């Protein structure tokens, strides 16, 4: 770890203009095809040697990861028992939401903290990664020191996703996509770990910044959904805030994940990285994962658009947490009706 901001040591280099979509597609195809053609010894053996030669992570860092993952679990349990659940009961939210609200409250607190820290790194320090994305690979060296402030960000995020794997299985309300979320957490943790080990931490901070903001808006919206009905009464303020949350969530999803992410992150990782660092390790591996992330963002955006269209056309009268399984009383009612139908 290095307290110096070595990621910004090339500030004197000319800042590049952000490309358009067509330029990204054409240049990315050209660069990747050229790199693949020039790779004469690509294969499992090269991957194994590259992993052994360029991946750097210490036992101390692994120990700190597990300690922080346990810490997040303890902190969440403490906040849930002593603050979130008592507050939900005091506000008289619906019984079916009392067990779910603390989960969203915890995630809102964490993502607000983590995204604020990423924002601080990108806009209130000497790093120029957001303004000049190609700079994420300036002066890259295998096994280079990671600045302390970025190491802290990686420790926070990595240990949180380690905690999230446990939490999704044993602490969160089980939903239709919970199994998918477990897989997502494993993939995210692998990306964070590999990007740190290969010293691609600069671009990693940019990726985290561009994705965490949507989690803040999602959990904010869900909390207001839970608080719309309190003590048997409907509260307009929470209904308005939940609708505003959906709108801002949709806008920032497109702007951050479908505009800035491809034109900043993918441009830097796919096109300019190989110019700054010829034969950069695991070039195809990381770019394939980043393109897969883009495809998932596009896929989920289609659902967001469909959701907004239904809301605007009156097909959906209110914003609800559509990820939830049916409530228990609805399941029981369905089972009862099925039983009566069978007996009839």
Query: Can you tell me the mean pLDDT for 50-66?
Result: 84
The residues with which 230 forms a beta bridge, in sequence order, are: 93, 233
Cα torsion 248, 253, 259, 264: sign? positive
Q: Is 132 exposed, middle or buried (0-12, 13-18, 19+ CB in 10 A)?
A: buried
* HSE-CB of 197 using CA atoms within 13 angstroms: 21
Quick check: 331 pLDDT over 70?
A: no
Q: How far apart are CA 164 and CA 251, in angstroms?
A: 26
Digit-coded pLDDT (tens) for 165-193: 999 898 887 777 778 788 878 888 988 99
CA atoms within 13 A on the CB side of 184: 11
pLDDT at 98: 87
Per the prediction, the chain carries an average pLDDT of 83
Average pLDDT over residues 321-329: 43
Instruction: Give residue 328's pLDDT.
Output: 40
pTM: 0.83
Strands (DSSP E) contained in the chain are 229-230, 233-234
* Cα within 13 Å of Cα(270), Cβ side: 24
pLDDT given at position 173:
75
Give the pLDDT confidence score for residue 199 in this predicted structure. 92
Residue pair 158/61 in contact (Cβ under 8 Å)? The answer is no
Residue ranges of domains in the chain: 55-302
Report which of 256, 260, 154 is spatially closest to residue 199, judged by C-alpha positions. 154
Q: Which two tokens stand for residue 104?
A: 């969203």
Task: Please write the tens of the pLDDT for every residue from 275-306.
Answer: 888 888 888 888 988 888 898 889 888 888 88
């Amino acid at each position: 770890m290095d307290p110096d901001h070595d990621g910004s040591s090339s500030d004197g280099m000319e800042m590049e203009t952000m490309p358009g979509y067509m330029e990204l597609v054409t240049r990315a195809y050209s660069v990747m095809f050229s790199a693949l053609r020039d790779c004469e010894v690509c294969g499992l053996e090269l991957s194994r040697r590259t992993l052994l030669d360029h991946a750097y992570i210490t036992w101390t860092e692994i120990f700190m990861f597990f300690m922080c993952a346990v810490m997040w679990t303890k902190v969440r349990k403490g906040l849930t028992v002593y603050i979130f659940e008592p507050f939900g009961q005091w506000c008289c939210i619906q019984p079916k939401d009392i067990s779910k609200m603390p989960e969203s409250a915890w995630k809102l607190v964490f993502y607000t903290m983590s995204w604020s820290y990423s924002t601080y790194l990108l806009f209130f320090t000497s790093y120029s990664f957001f303004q000049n994305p190609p700079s994420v690979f300036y002066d890259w060296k295998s096994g280079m020191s990671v600045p302390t402030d970025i190491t802290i960000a990686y420790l926070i995020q990595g240990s949180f996703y380690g905690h999230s794997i446990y939490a999704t299985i044993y602490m969160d309300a089980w939903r239709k996509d919970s199994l998918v979320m477990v897989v997502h957490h494993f993939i995210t943790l692998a990306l964070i770990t590999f990007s740190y080990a290969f010293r691609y931490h600069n671009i990693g901070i940019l990726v985290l910044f561009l994705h965490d903001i949507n989690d803040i808006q999602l959990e904010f919206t869900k909390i207001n959904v839970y608080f719309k009905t309190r003590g048997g009464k409907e509260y307009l303020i929470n209904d308005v805030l939940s609708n505003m949350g959906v709108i801002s969530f949709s806008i920032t999803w497109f702007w951050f994940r479908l505009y800035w992410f491809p034109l900043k992150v993918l441009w830097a990782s796919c096109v300019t990285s190989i110019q700054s660092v010829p034969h950069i390790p695991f070039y195809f591996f990381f770019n394939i994962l980043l393109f897969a992330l883009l495809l998932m963002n596009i896929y989920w955006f289609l659902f967001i658009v469909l959701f907004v269209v239904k809301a605007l056309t009156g097909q959906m009268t209110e914003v609800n947490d559509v990820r939830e399984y049916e409530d228990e009383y609805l399941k029981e009612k369905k089972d009862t009706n099925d039983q009566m139908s069978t007996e009839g």
